[in-house]
Amino acid sequence: MSFVVARDIFQSYGTRPILQRVNVTVEEGEFISIVGASGCGKSTFLRLLLAQERPTRGEIRVAGAEPAEEPGRDRGVVFQRYSVFPHMTVRDNIVAGESFRTRWGMFSGAAKRAARDRADETLRRIGLDHVADQYPATLSGGMQQRLAIGQALTAKPRILLLDEPFGALDPGTRLSMHDFLQDLREETGMTVFMVTHDLEEGFKLGDRVLVFDKPRWDPHDPNAYGATITYDFDARDGGIPFQRIKEDTHVFRPA
Amino acid sequence: MRLINRHPGRLTRTALVALPFLLAFGAYAIGSDIRLTANPSDKLLPAPSTIAETAHRLFTMPDQRSEKILLWGDTAASLIRLGLGVGISAVLATILGLLIGLLPYVRATLAGFVAVVSMIPPLAVLPILFIVFGLGELSKVVLIIVGILPFLIRDLSARVIEIPREMIVKAETLGASTFVIALRVALPQLLPRLIQAVRLSLGPAWLFLIAAEAIAAERGLGYRIFLVRRFLAMDIILTYVIWITFLAFMMDMVLRWLSRRLFPWTEASL
């Protein structure tokens, strides 16, 4: 059984369909890029994966478990903005990745010192140790996103969900964030879903690129139909994509 | 150059800040002088020097009968009432604001009710408070609470709702319970807003305090002002008014300083 299975997902807001008939299976450790035009349900699909919303029909199972009812520790997330806590220092933001699951949301005594040491180690790895005592607002956009990713990984999720994480960054910072993300992935081997507007970014980082689009389009009522996955590209092999045929065409295919 | 782009220099700015104060003082001094030359025993606009003398007497000389300095006793009585009223309101508003802002069930139950209650004119229910809580300290403190608590609750719950959903979801993915989200995410971000809201509600709090003291009290700043009004003792009234203004201004300064001192991260974001 595959690690993440989305089966026959429909999602509508009121009478307006957003997603229809979305089916996808993902193996553990895959990096999935999700692209598509604005308003084609990419972020909705991510929220469904996150269990922030529940689908109108269908279900998403992770590792064969029952569909989740609310966001939890098995799914980490980084949004484009507001992903770190502004009232905590950079170090405390990392510590929060471990301490929030406790009863009072904080450590004391020896556990606190140990958590701080681990946080400092994490900060060294993500190159933020020199700003450990500053507040996030004093950091650049790239540093804030690095902190957000570091914080999400501290909680050791099984899936990492990224909603346009580099959308607000300048091109140079974006490239260094790509390296950062690829390094982290090699280390952890985590399953990642990333929504992006940038096709190049999607193909560069992803093992697979899912394209969301509306299969039918009514010119008199553009909102009549929802979007679904229209292409499922294989983006591996040194970034040379080849298209995988989704239909069973009864044609010989080398294994 | 457009007017919106013209800024005063340091010196000009200081002069401009002082200008309205000097003008107001000058206007009063001239008005008082005109009336006093016409009638030296006029009591309506006492000369600034008379006010200064009265102030000196009020701040230092004990009352002949009770042998206590009345002004300090009045100040203490009023500040205790004000502190209790504002303090209790702030604590209740923080708890209720968090509950209404975070929990949809509490929001559905209380938000409409608070919105309606906040429309009740507090002074209209003052007689009820006097009847229910008596003429003692309690009814004055309750009037301040009735007056500012609904505003504080509405303001603070709106601030909690304003916290970006992303931040709450992020905390959920780190495994935080509702309690931990309230304690570690919502409350710390609410406290600077609480200080702002308390600063704004200090004006109404003073209003309700003085109104309650004017009607029924044995001491207090508002009581004294309304007492000496019978003797047309403008010098005493003006001294008390200046003193109250000074106290209110100092409270505002202290709260602003506290906000900057305790929550350095709010400054960093600006």
Verify whether the Cβ–Cβ distance A77 to B164 is below 8 Å. Answer: no
pLDDT band at A227 (very low <50, low <70, confident <90, very high): confident
C-beta atoms of B172 and A101 within 8 A: no
Residue A213 and residue A204: Cα distance in Å, rounded?
21
User: Is A100 close to B175, i.e. CB distance below 8 A?
Assistant: yes
Residue A132 maps to a domain? no
Strands (E), A27-84: 31-36, 57-62, 75-78
For A224, the token pair is 């009549």
Contact A81 B171 (CB under 8 A): no
| Distance between CA atoms of residues A90 and A96, nearest Å | 10
Expressed as residue numbers, the domain containing A56 is 4-81+159-165+178-243
On whether residue A170 sits in a domain, the answer given is no
> pLDDT in tens for each of the 270 residues of chain B?
899 999 999 999 999 999 999 999 999 999 999 999 998 888 888 989 999 999 999 888 888 787 788 889 999 999 999 999 999 999 999 999 999 999 999 999 999 999 999 999 988 988 898 899 888 888 899 999 999 999 999 999 999 999 999 999 999 999 999 999 999 999 999 999 999 999 999 999 999 999 999 988 888 999 999 998 888 888 999 999 999 999 999 999 999 999 888 888 876 544
Given a cut of 50, whether residue A205 has pLDDT beyond it is yes
Question: How is chain B split into domains, by residue range?
Answer: 75-268
Residue with tokens 């999935």: A32
Let me know if residue A218 belongs to a domain: yes
Question: Among all residues of chain B, which has the CA nearest to that of A89?
Answer: B265
Per-residue pLDDT tens over the stretch A131-174:
989 999 888 888 898 899 889 988 888 899 999 888 878 888 88
Q: What is the pLDDT of residue A239?
A: 53
Provide, as residue numbers in chain B, all residues whose Cβ is less than 8 Å from the Cβ of A50: 169, 173
More confident residue, B169 or A82: B169
Number of domains within chain A: 1
Query: What is the distance between the alpha carbons of residues A223 and A228, in angstroms, rounded to a whole number?
Result: 14
User: Which residue out of A82, A104, A156, A161 would a mutagenesis test of the B interface target, given it has the greatest number of B Cβ atoms within 10 Å?
Assistant: A82
Fold type of domain B75-268: MetI-like fold (1.10.3720)
b/e for B46-68, b at 16 or more Cβ within 10 A?
A: bbeebbeebbeebeeeeeeeeee
Q: How far is Cα A213 from Cα A230, in angstroms, rounded to an integer?
A: 6
User: CATH number of the domain that A191 lies in?
Assistant: 3.40.50.300
Instruction: Chain B: give the shortest CA distance to residue A83, in Å.
Output: 6
pLDDT of residue B270: 41
Task: Using an 8 Å CB-CB cutoff, list chain B residues near A87.
Answer: 188-189, 263, 265
Q: What is the mean pLDDT of chain A?
A: 85
User: Is A196 part of any domain?
Assistant: yes
